[in-house]
Amino acid sequence: MKPVRYFRLPIFLLLPVFLLATTLLTNSKRFVTADSVPPLDPHCTDVGPSLPPPSNDWCGCVVGSVYVGGVPRSDVTVTLSFGQESIQYVTTDAYAAEPQFEMDGRLAGAVYGDEVRLSATYRGQTISRTYRALPNPTTFRQQVNLVFPESSGSSPIAKIETISYGVNSVTLRGSGTAQADGATIVGYEWETALNSVVGTDADATFPLSLLTQTQQTVSLRVQDNLGNWSAPVSESLPLHRPLPLSTAPDLHAVDVMTDTAVS
């Protein structure tokens, strides 16, 4: 019996493969996401006879190509992590050799006659576009560049309106004014001197134990729907807090001559 010989690839041939895989994994964080569903395949595949019936695909093309969308892939909603991205709209008819047509001249499956919609969201802004392929090649690819307008840079303004005390707590009320065109206030963040977030609404109530004895400061910042945060505004709370009175005090005086109480 002859010994089994194993074929070994030279190390210099394996190095490019390792570097390519490392690059794809390292850059995968920049790919767009679709409906919170991870990419289905690390690469877009060319049309072949083994493909399923006609379909509309969306492929991310930031680094390599990544499928986004469900099955069947047609309309898709994506959430971008950057204000500018490029993806591809890919239409396949699944008949790579010779396209088949319906009696009215349309391709079988009506893929090329169907409109598909792409909706993209970035920092609370949403844009929608509609696409239709042309009935010429068996595979249609169109580069789609998504560019969101940058914010005007006008930051909102935060304001602490009122501060009121309870027995063991303090309640603050704040407001915000948007400065960018068409912007609205959508977020609040209250923070103490201990760098702890104590509220995310316009009103915040938190225990006094969250305040230190030396730095009793609370700050507020607000955010608009374009993603702009305001500069924080702060209020110093008094060291000797006024305690709320649950009942009216019982006031009386004593006549020292007769030793009788006078109300």
pLDDT, tens digit, 9 for 90 and up, residues 159-211: 989 888 777 788 889 999 998 888 889 999 988 776 678 888 999 888 877 76
Top-ranked range on mean pLDDT: pick from 68-77, 113-122, 244-253: 113-122
Instruction: Indicate the pTM of the whole model.
Output: 0.38
* Cβ atoms of 42 and 66 closer than 8 Å: yes
Closest CA to 213 of 233, 172, 241, 232: 241
Confidence at residue 183, expressed as pLDDT on a 0 to 100 scale? 86
| Alpha-carbon 43 to chain mean position | 25
- Identify the residue with better confidence: 104 or 195: 195
Cα–Cα separations (whole angstroms), residue 244 to 105, 134, 171, 250: 82, 75, 13, 16
Confidence at residue 228, expressed as pLDDT on a 0 to 100 scale? 82
Task: For domain 157-236, give the CATH superfamily.
Answer: Immunoglobulins (2.60.40.10)
Cα–Cα separations (whole angstroms), residue 213 to 153, 199, 208, 230, 243: 38, 21, 10, 28, 16
How far is residue 241's CA from residue 221's CA, in Å, rounded to a whole number?
24
Per-residue pLDDT band at 104 (split at 50, 70, 90): very low
Asked if residue 7 has pLDDT above 90, the reply is no
Which phi and psi (to 5°) does residue 126 adopt?
-130, 135
Q: Share the mean pLDDT of the chain.
A: 60
Pairing mode, strands 116-122 and 76-79: parallel
Asked if residue 240 has pLDDT above 60, the reply is no
Per-residue pLDDT band at 39 (split at 50, 70, 90): very low
Confidence at residue 166, expressed as pLDDT on a 0 to 100 scale? 78
- Chain region(s) in the chain for CATH 2.60.40.10: 157-236
Of the candidate ranges 111-125, 150-164, 191-205, the one whose mean pLDDT is the lowest: 111-125
**Per-residue pLDDT tens for 54-75?**
445 554 433 233 344 434 445 6
Top-ranked range on mean pLDDT: pick from 13-22, 44-53, 163-172, 183-192: 183-192
How far is residue 108's CA from residue 102's CA, in Å, rounded to a whole number?
6
